[in-house]
């Protein structure tokens, strides 16, 4: 995709489409005002007649607008003037792209970057614009036969800026947005693939392919035999019931010399039946998404590599299947983790924490500046926060606030959740150092407390993405979250934000 910025008037651009915005009470956005003047009040007349909607997310495609060189004008609703925020901005961009489906649009100029948007300068507007465009263009047709639906053949995407002084910031925003969109697309693809394709071995091949030809990125894949020698009894207890071999995927992006890396650990359960503690049948197909933590950290390191950030980032992915069989771990079994701590497995469906704890212990060898694990860990998190915000737990107030602020800036929001001994006490076991589940209350928090037992001395945060990693229903599919949030953390840490 080629990106550009322009200070020229929207009506004078010979693009396939220009995107303009309108507000309630017949108020025009910057690009729309220019189009209205050039067309001698065409937009105003359509607004007054009710043929154009200012409702957020609504879009009308106009053709052959008098006085305008572009073939099409996408008029999107922006709601009340003065109340436009990043969420509505991205919704408007996506609406315009969706409205162009089926057309042969190759070049678009987005004038919404001229608008005043709460909390966003031109850098974030261009970045959000590219991310929203990438999201709207995304299609997953890999597993379909016959004639496949295709996105519009977009090859050139531009942003209007008020003056040339804003051009560099807008270009940087588009560049970063493109890198993040690529990471989101990878995370979505991995999540959407069926579990008979996206196995632990498949994830390992993807990781190796990402590193191929990139001098700053390397991939190492540990086998079950190597994990056994390391003492990863907790991780291996989860994979005991399947014929599919587990993999520990370790990726290193070296963009900042000998600086301590940020380590991202992603839960990679490529299919979760619950094991012997078998899940109910309805919606079990969605358990192919139980590797979205892994997908998101792979997507994030792909974004970092695309943006060529001056930072060191390591990714650790424990990749397994959780299946029932005569060899599967049973409720009541006790396993020994890499840390030496023993765990009574009271529920084999609380398996994510069993693989993550060994991955966290393994990550100590990198002496991380910070370590963040990402996991579709608990149904309790969905009850607590729904599908809107990612749960953030941390043993560091500063890191928790850093991630929370990054989520707000990236329009990929999280919400802080507590940790504490009053919750961790639920994990006591009569027979081992700890149990892998607590009581019925605070399930998302007790899961975080469990992981916290393996992070002493490290600056650590846990992101529970069970509610945000995928959508159910008619629009079922991976969301790619929290790639934007994690990318923002890394952009800010390395000083790459303009």
Residue 365 is part of a domain; what is its CATH number?
3.40.630.10
pLDDT of residue 206: 98
Residue 122 is part of a domain; what is its CATH number?
3.40.220.10
- Kindly state whether residue 217 falls inside one of the protein's structural domains: yes
Residue 270, H or E segment:
strand 268-272
- Kindly state whether residue 161 falls inside one of the protein's structural domains: no
Structure confidence at residue 147 as a pLDDT band (50, 70, 90): confident
Res. 139: pLDDT tops 90: yes
Structural domain range at position 210:
183-493
- Note whether 83 and 190 are same-domain residues: no
pLDDT of residue 481: 98
- Note whether 209 and 261 are same-domain residues: yes
- Kindly state whether residue 43 falls inside one of the protein's structural domains: yes
Number of domains making up the chain: 2
Cβ pair 249, 319 in contact under 8 A: yes
Give the residue-averaged pLDDT of 167-196: 98
- Note whether 147 and 292 are same-domain residues: no
Alpha-carbon distance 16 to 19, whole Å?
10
- Note whether 290 and 362 are same-domain residues: yes
Alpha-carbon distance 258 to 366, whole Å?
11
- Note whether 40 and 133 are same-domain residues: yes
Alpha-carbon distance 422 to 409, whole Å?
33
pLDDT of residue 440: 87
pLDDT of residue 146: 83
Structure confidence at residue 149 as a pLDDT band (50, 70, 90): confident
* 70, 76, 80, 84 alpha-carbon torsion, rounded to 10°: -90
- Note whether 129 and 224 are same-domain residues: no
- Kindly state whether residue 160 falls inside one of the protein's structural domains: no
pLDDT in tens, 161-179: 999 999 999 999 999 999 9
Which is nearest to 337 in space by CA: 350, 314, 352, 356? 356
- Note whether 51 and 188 are same-domain residues: no
- Note whether 66 and 191 are same-domain residues: no
Alpha carbon of 73 to those of 3, 18, 19, 60, 395: distances in Å? 19, 5, 6, 8, 51
pLDDT of residue 492: 98
pLDDT of residue 442: 96
Alpha-carbon distance 110 to 6, whole Å?
10
Known catalytic residues are 279, 353
- Note whether 229 and 189 are same-domain residues: yes
The overall average pLDDT reported for the chain is: 97
Give the residue-averaged pLDDT of 96-104: 97
pLDDT in tens, 9-22: 999 999 999 999 99
């Amino acid at each position: 995709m080629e990106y550009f910025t322009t200070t020229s008037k929207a009506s004078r651009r010979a693009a396939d489409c220009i995107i303009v915005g309108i507000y309630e009470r017949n108020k025009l956005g910057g690009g729309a005002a220019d189009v209205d003047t050039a067309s001698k009040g065409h937009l105003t007349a359509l607004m007054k007649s009710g043929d154009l909607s200012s409702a957020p997310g609504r879009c009308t495609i106009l053709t052959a607008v008098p006085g305008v060189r572009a073939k099409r004008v996408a008029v999107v609703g922006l709601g009340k003037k003065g109340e436009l925020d990043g969420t509505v901005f991205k919704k408007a961009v996506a609406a315009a792209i969706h409205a162009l489906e089926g057309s042969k649009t190759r070049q678009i100029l987005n004038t919404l970057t001229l608008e005043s948007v709460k909390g966003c300068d031109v850098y974030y507007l261009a970045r959000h614009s590219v991310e929203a465009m990438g999201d709207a263009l995304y299609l997953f047709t890999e597993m379909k036969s016959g004639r496949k639906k295709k996105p519009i053949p977009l090859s050139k995407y531009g942003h209007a800026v008020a003056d040339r002084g804003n051009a560099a910031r807008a270009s940087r925003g588009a560049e970063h947005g493109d890198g993040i969109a690529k990471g989101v697309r990878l995370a979505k693809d991995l999540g959407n693939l069926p579990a008979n394709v996206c196995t632990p071995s498949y994830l390992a091949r993807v990781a190796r392919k990402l590193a191929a030809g990139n001098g700053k990125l390397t991939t190492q894949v540990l086998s079950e035999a190597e994990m056994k020698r390391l003492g990863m009894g907790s991780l291996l207890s989860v994979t005991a019931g399947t014929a599919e071999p587990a993999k520990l995927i370790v990726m290193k992006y070296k963009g900042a010399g000998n600086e301590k890396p940020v380590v991202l650990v992603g839960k990679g359960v490529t299919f979760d039946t619950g094991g012997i503690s078998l899940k109910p049948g309805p919606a079990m197909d969605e358990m192919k998404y139980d590797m979205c933590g892994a997908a998101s950290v792979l997507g994030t390191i792909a974004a970092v590599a695309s943006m060529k950030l001056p930072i060191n980032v390591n990714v650790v992915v424990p990749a397994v299947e959780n299946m029932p069989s005569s060899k599967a771990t049973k409720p009541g079994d006790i396993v020994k983790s890499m840390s030496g701590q023993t765990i009574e497995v009271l529920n084999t469906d609380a398996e994510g924490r069993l693989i993550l704890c060994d991955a966290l212990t393994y990550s100590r060898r990198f002496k991380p500046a910070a370590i963040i694990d990402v996991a579709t860990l608990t149904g309790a998190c969905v009850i607590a926060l729904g599908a809107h915000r990612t749960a953030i737990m941390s043993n560091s107030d500063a890191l928790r606030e850093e991630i929370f602020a990054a989520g707000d800036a990236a329009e990929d929001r999280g919400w802080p959740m507590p940790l504490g001994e009053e919750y961790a006490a639920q994990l006591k076991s009569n027979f081992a150092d700890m149990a892998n589940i607590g009581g019925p209350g605070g399930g998302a928090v007790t899961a975080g407390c469990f992981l916290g037992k393996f992070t002493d001395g490290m600056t650590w945060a846990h992101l529970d993405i069970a509610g945000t990693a995928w959508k159910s229903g008619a629009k079922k599919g991976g969301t790619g979250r929290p790639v934007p949030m994690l990318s923002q953390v890394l952009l800010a840490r390395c000083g790459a934000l303009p």
